[in-house]
Amino acid sequence: MAEAPMDRCLLEICNLDAGYGKLQILRSVCLQAAEQEIIGIIGANGAGKTTVLKAVMNLADIMGGEIYFRGTLLNRKAWYKIARMGIAFVPQKREIFSPLTVLENLEIGAYRILGNKSEMRSNLARVLEFFPQLQGKLALKAGVLSGGEQKMLSIARGLMGSPEVLLLDEPSLGLAPAVAEALFEGIRFIAQGHPSLKALLVVEQNAFLALEIAHRGYVLEGGRVVLVGSSQELLTNPHVKAAYLTA
């Protein structure tokens, strides 16, 4: 994806309060993702990063505020309807179907475009181009893949349904640094080359990895957005450097 034209807002979160039951986690969170934009959401453990993505999918409890996708209010829509609208969520745990083959896992991801065999075929070819490591493993049970390959599979499965927005939760979690870097290269490649994809939101504890591929970033602390800026601004911001970029 190229640089972000901010006048073409695709996903808009306005003054979001959200949490779980009576427990409020997010407070007045505002976030926008424009077409062609990669957004990094960074912050410490428990800051509420995952909850932002879950709220978009209506998997967390929304207590106030609004979430719009292409101007349509998402609040109170069931998660599967939100997915059908074109938002794919790749959770932080590799929620793959271990007893099924890699190919079957990928086919499940294409439920949104079931019936469109040619789009399914071209999406399959494309995700294998993004993640060539999966190419020779289509017939294997997904459970035997390495941790990094399972992450690739879960992202590839998210892409199989031609989403417009991809929400990635902690893709680097549990991966060795070199594997995480390779995965982020794949993510950057996807963002530039997937025809349906218009915006990508990536939640990461590894702020450097996220900001390296993002156009803009949001820093969450205690459920609030405390900083917003271009990735370059955030990478050089003294607070971000001290809190999130030291080894």
> Contact residues for ligand ATP (CB under 6 A)?
20, 23, 25, 43, 45-51, 205
Burial annotation 44-56 (CB, 10 A radius, 16+ → b, else e): eeebbbbbbbbbb
Nearest distance, CB of residue 48 and ligand ATP, angstroms: 4
In whole angstroms, the minimum distance from the beta carbon of 222 to ligand ATP comes to 10
**Is the CB of residue 169 less than 8 Å from the CB of residue 90?**
yes
Closer residue to ligand ATP, CB minimum distance, 52 or 153? 52
Q: Which is nearer to ligand ATP, 79 or 189 (CB)?
A: 79
CB nearer to ligand ATP: give 128 or 201.
201
Nearer Cβ to ligand ATP, position 5 or 222?
222
CB of 68 to ligand ATP, least distance (A): 21
CB closer to ligand ATP out of 24 and 237: 24
184 half-sphere exposure, CB direction, 13 A CA radius: 26
- CB of residue 202 vs ligand ATP: minimum separation in angstroms? 12
Contacts of 157 (CB under 8 A, 6+ apart): 90, 96, 105, 106, 108, 109
Query: Which of 136, 131, 132, 139 minimizes the C-alpha distance to 105?
Result: 139
β-sheet with 23-34: strand ranges across: 23-34, 9-20, 61-69, 72-73
* Length of the chain, in residues: 247
- Residue 104 CB, nearest distance to ligand ATP (Å)? 29
